């Protein structure tokens, strides 16, 4: 792994652990097993480093969302699939995505708006789910969006604090969607 990538991953880990304000370049350097000079060579400021971590996580999230969202999937199933894919990113795939989520949660300015990467797709799927012929009477786009947001927030907490139990979150999340689906149906392959 190249120095730049090691520094990005180390910074992502520090952001997850300590948030933006608690992340120190000296700890990033130690975690990446490089000198502070090497960190500064690639990223002249903490803000530049954090911005790069954020952009990397957003890119990876966008790619996953685009790959997951399809017009041919039943909308409620699509919401479940998207939620599971985003949860998988938070748990398995890349520390920069989990760092994006932490930055987004901690940032009152809205500069780190990671959730905007997927919120529009969730809204469109929720609209389709509520307007489809088989939708329930009480279907609400806002409620479905809130459900996805809460499930992902819970997954983030689980990913950070559950250690060895982290992967159990995905099966619990799939089971939650299974129970939420009309008639308890859900395609759990994918």
Query: Reduced to 3 states, what is the DSSP secondary structure of residue 67?
Result: helix
Residue 102, pLDDT score: 92
Q: Is domain 54-184 given the CATH code 1.10.287 in the classification?
A: no
Domain coordinates in residue numbering, the chain = 54-184
Q: Which residues are CB-neighbours of 179 under 8 A, at least 6 positions away?
A: none
Handedness of CA 140, 188, 156, 49 (dihedral sign): negative
Cα 14 from chain centroid? 17
Q: Is residue 190 over pLDDT 50? A: no
**Mean pLDDT to the nearest integer, 58-81:** 86
Angle at 95 between CA 151 and CA 169, to 5 degrees: 35
**Mean pLDDT to the nearest integer, 162-182:** 77
Residue 114, pLDDT score: 92
Residue 53, pLDDT score: 97
Residue bearing the bigger pLDDT, 135 or 7? 7
Residue bearing the bigger pLDDT, 71 or 147? 147
Q: How confident is the model at residue 155 (pLDDT cuts 50, 70, 90)?
A: confident
**Mean pLDDT to the nearest integer, 83-92:** 88
Note the pTM of the prediction, 2 decimals.
0.84
Q: Is residue 93 over pLDDT 80? A: no
**Mean pLDDT to the nearest integer, 118-123:** 92
Mean pLDDT (the chain) is: 86
**Mean pLDDT to the nearest integer, 96-105:** 92
């Amino acid at each position: 792994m190249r120095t730049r990538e090691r520094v990005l991953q180390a910074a992502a880990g520090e952001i997850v652990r300590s948030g933006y304000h608690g992340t120190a370049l000296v700890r990033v350097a130690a975690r990446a097993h490089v000198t502070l000079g090497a960190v500064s060579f690639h990223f002249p400021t903490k803000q530049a480093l954090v911005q790069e971590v954020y952009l990397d996580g957003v890119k990876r999230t966008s790619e996953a969302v685009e790959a997951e969202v399809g017009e041919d999937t039943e909308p409620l199933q699509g919401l479940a699939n998207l939620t599971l894919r985003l949860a998988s990113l938070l748990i398995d795939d890349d520390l920069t995505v989990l760092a994006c989520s932490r930055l987004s949660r901690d940032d009152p300015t809205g500069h780190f708006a990671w959730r905007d990467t997927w919120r529009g797709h969730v809204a469109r799927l929720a609209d389709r789910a509520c307007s489809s012929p088989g939708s329930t009477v009480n279907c609400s786009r806002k409620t479905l969006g809130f459900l996805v947001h809460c499930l992902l927030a819970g997954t983030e907490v689980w990913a950070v604090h559950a250690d060895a139990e982290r992967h159990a979150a995905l099966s619990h999340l799939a089971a939650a969607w299974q129970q939420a689906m009309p008639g308890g149906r859900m395609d759990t392959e994918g």
